Amino acid sequence: MCQEEHGITAVSRTVTSPSVQGITAATIVNAAWSLVLSQRTNRLDVLFGIATNGQNGYSSRGGNLIGLCMNQMPMRVRLDHSETFQGLLETVQRQYIQAMPFELVELSDIAQICDLSQATDDKVEFGSVVVVQNANVNTDAPFSFGDAQCIRGHVISRTFLTLLPS
pLDDT in tens, the chain (166 residues): 333 344 444 444 444 443 456 788 888 889 988 998 898 889 998 888 888 876 665 555 556 666 666 778 888 899 998 999 889 999 999 998 888 888 877 777 777 777 665 544 555 566 777 777 655 555 555 555 444 444 444 333 333 445 444 3
6 φψ region: left (φ > 0), alpha (ψ -120 to 50), beta (else): left
Distance CA 77, CA 139 (A): 31
> Are 49 and 73 contacting, i.e. CB atoms less than 8 angstroms apart?
yes
> Are 57 and 26 contacting, i.e. CB atoms less than 8 angstroms apart?
no
Determine the pLDDT at residue 66.
63
**Domain at 89, CATH number:** 3.30.559.30
Does 104 reside within a domain?
yes
> Are 8 and 32 contacting, i.e. CB atoms less than 8 angstroms apart?
yes
What's the Cα-to-Cα distance from 49 to each of 8, 33, 40, rounded to whole Å? 20, 11, 16
> Are 63 and 56 contacting, i.e. CB atoms less than 8 angstroms apart?
no
Determine the pLDDT at residue 29.
87
Does 29 reside within a domain?
yes
| SS3 category, 149 | strand
Determine the pLDDT at residue 57.
54
Q: What is the CA radius of gyration of the chain?
A: 17
Number of domains in the chain: 1
| SS3 category, 66 | coil
CA angle at residue 18 from 14 to 21, to 5 degrees? 85
Does 1 reside within a domain?
no
Determine the pLDDT at residue 89.
92
Does 3 reside within a domain?
no
Distance CA 127, CA 165 (A): 6
Which residue range is the domain that position 111 belongs to?
8-165
81 burial (CB, 10 Å; 0-12 / 13-18 / 19+) is exposed
Does 2 reside within a domain?
no
